[in-house]
């Protein structure tokens, strides 16, 4: 299953010229509106930048995503952003890693992806320990800790770290067609790599039994898909996502691959 765009109203705000805006149409950062550790504020909290809403799941976008994920309990969640080159595991709201029995296979997968698809230049680690700040009420932490999704990641697939702070378009988007097409191809192939590695992660590392909340589907009759893989993306649409040409948020409209009885959600 694919969620190509979560923050529709926020995207419209950006398209109308507010290139650094990251919130939805109601002024809420929807990646701070999930219930896990919701509302906690760090010393540098700026409500103009990351207002979490008046209550957990106050926003229709987060309620829709929560209900959709809860309806079929995905085995994989990948939340796709832009702004830097990185692949993060939980947690965002603290600097801890998940249980070592889960963290180790997560790390092995991300190291493989880093080598094959990121020139070994992606930052790898928990969001809270790697990105430079703690984020509370995020989707990835909720999916892992509350819903029990065995593999939950946040991918940052592009970022111009030399762009000035006021140039949000350049900071979050490739500025040439060649770079854009390279990102689309490379990260699409990264998802194929993930799917190829799923059997090893689930069956050899026993991720589902480790989490204790989800049943791994049988491999019998695995030659065809019984569910779409859910690759949905949530780029930083309020921070200058592609407007004048096809957006990176459409990156995973395609590449629906085969895997037995898996719903994969990002």
- At 160-180, the pLDDT tens digits run 999 999 999 999 999 999 999
- Residue 1 resides in a domain: no
Residue 253: pLDDT band by 50, 70, 90 thresholds?
very low
In the sheet that holds 264-265, the strands lie side by side as 123-126, 84-89, 151-158, 76-81, 264-265
CB 80 within 8 A of CB 157: yes
Please tell me the total count of domains within the chain: 1
- Residue 121 resides in a domain: yes
- Residue 190 resides in a domain: yes
Q: Is the pLDDT of residue 245 over 70?
A: no
- At 202-242, the pLDDT tens digits run 766 666 544 434 333 433 433 322 222 333 333 333 333 33
Distances (CA, A) of 138 to 19, 39, 66, 94, 179: 22, 11, 12, 11, 29
CB 247 within 8 A of CB 235: yes
Residue 37 φ/ψ, nearest 5 degrees? 60, 30
Active site annotation includes 156:
yes
Residue 125: pLDDT band by 50, 70, 90 thresholds?
very high
Residues above pLDDT 90, as percent of the chain? 60
How large is the average pLDDT for residues 103-129?
94
Question: How far is Cα 139 from Cα 132, in angstroms, rounded to an integer?
Answer: 18
CB 252 within 8 A of CB 233: yes
In terms of Cβ atoms closer than 10 Å to its own Cβ (0-12, 13-18, 19+), residue 121 is exposed
Give the tokens for residue 114: 């880093």
- Residue 2 resides in a domain: no
Q: Is the pLDDT of residue 143 over 80?
A: yes
Q: Which domain holds residue 174?
A: 8-265
Q: Which of 21, 59, 156, 236 is catalytic?
A: 156
Q: Is the pTM for the entire model greater than 0.95?
A: no
- Residue 207 resides in a domain: yes
CB 2 within 8 A of CB 252: yes
- Residue 3 resides in a domain: no
Indicate the angle between helix axes 177-199 and 100-117, nearest 10 degrees: 140
Cis status of the peptide bond prior to 168, with omega within 30 of 0: no
The chain-wide mean pLDDT, for the chain, equals 79
Give the tokens for residue 84: 């830097």
- Residue 256 resides in a domain: yes
- At 55-103, the pLDDT tens digits run 999 999 999 999 999 998 888 899 999 999 999 999 999 999 998 888 9
Assign residue 208 the CATH number of its domain: 3.40.630
The reported pLDDT for the residue numbered 219 is 35
């Amino acid at each position: 299953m694919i969620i190509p765009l979560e923050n529709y109203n926020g995207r419209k705000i950006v398209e109308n010229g507010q290139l650094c805006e990251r919130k939805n149409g109601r002024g809420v950062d929807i990646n701070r509106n999930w219930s896990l550790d919701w509302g906690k504020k760090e010393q540098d909290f700026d409500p103009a930048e990351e207002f979490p809403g008046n209550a957990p799941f106050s926003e229709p976008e987060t309620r829709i995503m929560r209900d959709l994920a809860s309806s079929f309990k995905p085995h994989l969640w990948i939340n796709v952003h832009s702004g830097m080159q990185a692949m993060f595991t939980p947690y965002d709201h603290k600097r801890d890693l998940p249980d070592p029995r889960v963290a180790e296979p997560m790390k092995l997968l991300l190291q493989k992806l880093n080598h094959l698809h990121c020139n070994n230049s992606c930052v790898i680690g928990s969001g809270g320990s790697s990105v430079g700040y703690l984020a509370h009420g995020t989707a990835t932490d909720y999916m892992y800790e509350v819903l029990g999704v065995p593999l939950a990641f946040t991918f940052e697939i592009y970022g111009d770290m030399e762009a000035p702070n006021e140039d949000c378009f350049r900071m979050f988007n490739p500025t040439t067609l060649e770079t854009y097409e390279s990102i689309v191809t490379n990260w699409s192939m990264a998802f194929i790599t993930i799917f190829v590695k799923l059997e090893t992660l689930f069956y050899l590392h026993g991720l589902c039994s480790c989490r204790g909340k989800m049943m791994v589907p049988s491999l019998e009759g695995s030659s065809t898909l019984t569910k779409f893989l859910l690759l949905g993306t949530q780029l930083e649409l309020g921070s200058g996502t592609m407007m004048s040409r096809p957006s990176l948020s459409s990156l995973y409209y395609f590449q629906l691959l085969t895997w037995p009885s898996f719903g994969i959600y990002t």
